[in-house]
Structure 1
Amino acid sequence: MDFSFTDEQQMLRDSVSSFLQRSYDFDARSKIVRSAEGWSRAIWEQIAEIGLLALPVAEDAGGLGGTAPDLVAVAEPFGAHLLAEPFIATLLAAPLLASVEDERLEGIMEGSKLAALAYEEGHGTADPSHIAMTAHRDGERFMLDGEKRMVLAGGDADLLLVVARLEDRLEDRLALFSLSPDSDGITIKGYQTIDGRRAANIRFSGVQVEKDDLLANDIEDALRKALDTAILALCAESVGAMGELLSRTAEYASTRKQFGVPIATFQAVAHRLADMKIAYTKARATLLYTAALMEAGHATERDMAILKGQTGKLGREVGEAAIQTHGGVGMTDELAVSHLHKRILANDALLGSSEYHLRKVGNLSRS
């Protein structure tokens, strides 16, 4: 079975890689991350112009209707170049807006507006069943109280999409609400994650939501689909970062000399490089296989757990081996190696760690 990219997907991948090499090398990216905003709106506009923000949105909703392999072709270079802009946040929010036919989706795809999905409440998983925030009915309005954590781009968003449980004695349904970040009762604490992205914890204290801001009263299926898509993109980013670590480490080992010879000729280093190559190959094979399953509509909950678990575990191995080969300099901020490793660790922590997903695989196998 052939899991290679099609000619069109390879062209898309090459186009994204060329753009990032021109405009987003490590030094340029470091300046962006250290800036006050933490990401570049100019880069974001260019990403939108290429059409990448419309890629995950269905054609009948005005998007490009990209497939899972299309997303992998884009996300791998993003991971290799450590993109700090809110692509994953948009990947979570845009399909949900498309599912409810919200007119604000156009601005999201054009890059002029930014939406953030607030659903996570501190459990660190991609399981909607853990959502506990309740939307209490208050006449024709709803009242929201609680906290959402690790909201990607939550401090920069023009629109918050909040997932909460409808107060209903007969049914337990997840609803989707739209809110302005400056609404009364909302407190946003923004911060930078270890890998350079921007996120926020958002507190809701007696926030009143109008009836018209209830976008959907049964969003669980659409939410699970969006989370699966985000998992695929996170894993593709990690695999891209793993490939970059392998390339940089192999180059370093070939030029760094001890006792007059490159350290790549030492048996211990050569074996470490071989182990890195094997881990990267296994992770990428799992990624491409899962993307093919998603495109065919056959990916199961177990398949997604295997992908997330394998990528996190193998990514950590590659990152640690790269740092060990580089020595102390591999831990410094001046080298991309430490930042690539941080991106892999951060991606592993988002939407369920490798340990969580591998336990999930075991539980699903027994059931």
Structure 2
Amino acid sequence: MDFSFTEEQALLRDSVSQYLQRHYTFEDRQTVVRSKVGWSREVWQGLGRLGLYALPFPEETGGLGGSIVDVVATAELLGAHMLVEPYVASIVLAGAALAAVPEHADAAHRLRRIVAGEAIGAFAHEEGSGMPDPALVATRAKRTANGYVLAGEKKVVLHGADADILVLSARLHGQRGDPDGLALFVVDPPAAGIAATPFVTVDGRRAAHLRFDDAELGPDALLAADAHDVILKVLDRAIVALAAEAVGAMGELLHRTAEYAATREQFGVPIGTFQAVAHRLADMKIAYVKARSTLLYTTALAEAGQAEPHDLAVLKAQVGRLGRMIGESAIQTHGGVGMTDELPIGHLHKRILVIDAMFGTTDHHLRTVGGGRPEPRPAIPVG
């Protein structure tokens, strides 16, 4: 396996990195986070001009036909800069769900809008338990003469209050825990019967709890009736992309902590010369290399269509465990100032913790690894 990025991917990374360094410094990000909207449409448009929206989607939808490797190559940089714009919500989750049902005419139309930067998508799936398994969905969808009626609640929907396109999971039949009976729907907010409670997440992103009180959807709102495997594919790809963001944040923590230790002096010498601090930095570097190596290996498996649930569980557990260790070590090295809002250290650590909580925590995935391979399911597709 080749674990290096291609020349084209390296050039794209350089372009994205240079753009973010010019337009998305930590101070710029803090201004954006404190704004009323909570994210920058100017930055979002700039990233669109670099091709980030179109990158992972098929050419027939206006995309560039990229692979999961392209997503990882750029997501790592977005994690280092703690991007709060709706990349995960719109591209990694909602866009991927729409792309997974290419035979649906409305899905293709909405995906083209996302790729063109005309619309923001959101993926309403989480219901309060981390949702590593789509079978845990309890939100109900009932068929009616005019379409469907939804009842239930979705938690922590990234950009759920300001999305133009909402993709959501619901249960047509069966009980919570049953893999059969799951469906995917799409709706263009605002819609009657859908109430949003917006808030800011601990890592500075905009999200909302969504409540469906007999919300009426038309018959064309159904994207997929047997959606368990479709949702799994979306979540699997999201785990890899989020792991890339976490690894990017880990690398930034390592870089900033090493720089701080080399310049912060006590007793007339840099603290990096103290044995305890030097050992801590060495442990951080080892943890970072292990996490990034696992990410690149799993990404290579995914591109080859060979990434299985066990591989993804190892990646999610490794990144969560090692990311927490790096974040805590960075804060310890900086001292109390590491937890203040004026430095990015605490913000990077929060981002890693939030990623760990999404789609199964470290403990959940460690149990998956320790208990052997789960039931076989489709590997991540190449496209």
Instruction: Place the TM-score, normalised by the shorter chain, in its bin.
Output: over 0.9
TM-score, with structure 2 as normaliser: 0.92
Within 5 Å, give how 1:150-161 maps onto structure 2: 150-161=156-167
Larger displacement relative to structure 2 (323-332 or 178-187): 178-187
Larger displacement relative to structure 2 (108-117 or 261-270): 108-117
Q: Confirm or deny: 8 A CA contact 1:49 1:110 kept in the other structure.
A: no
Distance in 2 (alpha carbons) for counterparts of 1:142 and 1:351: 27
Distance in 2 (alpha carbons) for counterparts of 1:180 and 1:7: 39
Moved over 6 A (4+): none
Partner of 1:97: 98
State yes or no: 1:251 paired with 2:259: yes
Q: CA deviation at 1:95?
A: 2.0
Partner of 2:224: 216
For the structure 1 residues 308 and 182, does the alpha-carbon distance in structure 2 shift closer, same or farther, using more than 3 Å as the test? Answer: same
Q: CA deviation at 1:98?
A: 2.1
Q: Confirm or deny: 8 A CA contact 1:315 1:344 kept in the other structure.
A: yes
Distance in 1 (alpha carbons) for counterparts of 2:351 and 2:101: 32
Q: CA deviation at 1:84?
A: 0.4
Partner of 2:381: none
Distance in 2 (alpha carbons) for counterparts of 1:364 and 1:125: 20
1:230 maps to a residue whose letter is: A
1:14 maps to a residue whose letter is: D
Q: CA deviation at 1:366?
A: 8.8
Q: Secondary structure at the match of 1:57?
A: coil
Larger displacement relative to structure 2 (87-96 or 318-327): 87-96
Distance in 2 (alpha carbons) for counterparts of 1:11 and 1:308: 28
Distance in 2 (alpha carbons) for counterparts of 1:66 and 1:126: 26
State yes or no: 1:337 paired with 2:345: yes
Distance in 2 (alpha carbons) for counterparts of 1:212 and 1:147: 22
Q: Secondary structure at the match of 2:128?
A: coil
Within 5 Å, give how 1:319-330 maps onto structure 2: 319-330=327-338
2:274 maps to a residue whose letter is: F
For the structure 1 residues 132 and 18, does the alpha-carbon distance in structure 2 shift closer, same or farther, using more than 3 Å as the test? Answer: same
Q: Confirm or deny: 8 A CA contact 1:161 1:176 kept in the other structure.
A: yes
Distance in 2 (alpha carbons) for counterparts of 1:364 and 1:67: 28
Q: CA RMSD in A?
A: 1.6
Can you give the 5+ residue segments of structure 2 that lack an aligned partner in the other structure?
376-383
State yes or no: 1:44 paired with 2:22: no
Distance in 2 (alpha carbons) for counterparts of 1:238 and 1:71: 13
For the structure 1 residues 366 and 105, does the alpha-carbon distance in structure 2 shift closer, same or farther, using more than 3 Å as the test? Answer: closer
1:40 maps to a residue whose letter is: S
Provide Cα deviations, 1:217-245, integer angstroms capped at 9, x if missing partner.
12222221111111111110110011011
Q: CA deviation at 1:46?
A: 1.2
Partner of 1:75: 75
Within 5 Å, give how 1:273-292 maps onto structure 2: 273-292=281-300
Partner of 1:122: 128
Which of 244, 247, 256 is matched with 1:239 structurally?
247
Q: Confirm or deny: 8 A CA contact 1:166 1:173 kept in the other structure.
A: yes
State yes or no: 1:163 paired with 2:169: yes
Distance in 2 (alpha carbons) for counterparts of 1:226 and 1:186: 24
For the structure 1 residues 275 and 166, does the alpha-carbon distance in structure 2 shift closer, same or farther, using more than 3 Å as the test? Answer: same
Q: Confirm or deny: 8 A CA contact 1:137 1:167 kept in the other structure.
A: no
Q: Secondary structure at the match of 1:176?
A: strand
For the structure 1 residues 157 and 318, does the alpha-carbon distance in structure 2 shift closer, same or farther, using more than 3 Å as the test? Answer: same
Partner of 1:66: 66
Within 5 Å, give how 1:118-197 maps onto structure 2: 118-167=124-173, 172-197=180-205
TM-score, with structure 1 as normaliser: 0.96
Provide Cα deviations, 1:33-91, integer angstroms capped at 9, x if missing partner.
00001001111111111111112212343311211221111001101101000101121
Q: Confirm or deny: 8 A CA contact 2:368 2:374 kept in the other structure.
A: no
Distance in 1 (alpha carbons) for counterparts of 2:266 and 2:46: 44
Provide Cα deviations, 1:151-204, integer angstroms capped at 9, x if missing partner.
1110110121121122379x9332121223221111101111111111111000
Distance in 2 (alpha carbons) for counterparts of 1:235 and 1:305: 11
2:286 maps to a residue whose letter is: I
For the structure 1 residues 280 and 366, does the alpha-carbon distance in structure 2 shift closer, same or farther, using more than 3 Å as the test? Answer: same
Corresponding pairs, count: 366
Can you give the 5+ residue segments of structure 1 that lack an aligned partner in the other structure?
none
Q: CA deviation at 1:139?
A: 2.1
Q: Secondary structure at the match of 1:364?
A: coil
Seq. identity, %: 57
Q: Secondary structure at the match of 1:47?
A: helix
Q: Confirm or deny: 8 A CA contact 2:310 2:374 kept in the other structure.
A: no
Q: Confirm or deny: 8 A CA contact 1:80 1:243 kept in the other structure.
A: yes
Q: CA deviation at 1:19?
A: 0.6
Q: Confirm or deny: 8 A CA contact 2:80 2:251 kept in the other structure.
A: yes
Partner of 2:379: none
Q: Secondary structure at the match of 2:371?
A: helix
Within 5 Å, give how 1:199-210 maps onto structure 2: 199-210=207-218
Which of 293, 296, 303 is matched with 1:295 structurally?
303
Larger displacement relative to structure 2 (357-366 or 88-97): 357-366
Distance in 2 (alpha carbons) for counterparts of 1:135 and 1:167: 8
Larger displacement relative to structure 2 (203-212 or 318-327): 203-212
For the structure 1 residues 144 and 365, does the alpha-carbon distance in structure 2 shift closer, same or farther, using more than 3 Å as the test? Answer: closer
Q: Confirm or deny: 8 A CA contact 2:48 2:117 kept in the other structure.
A: yes
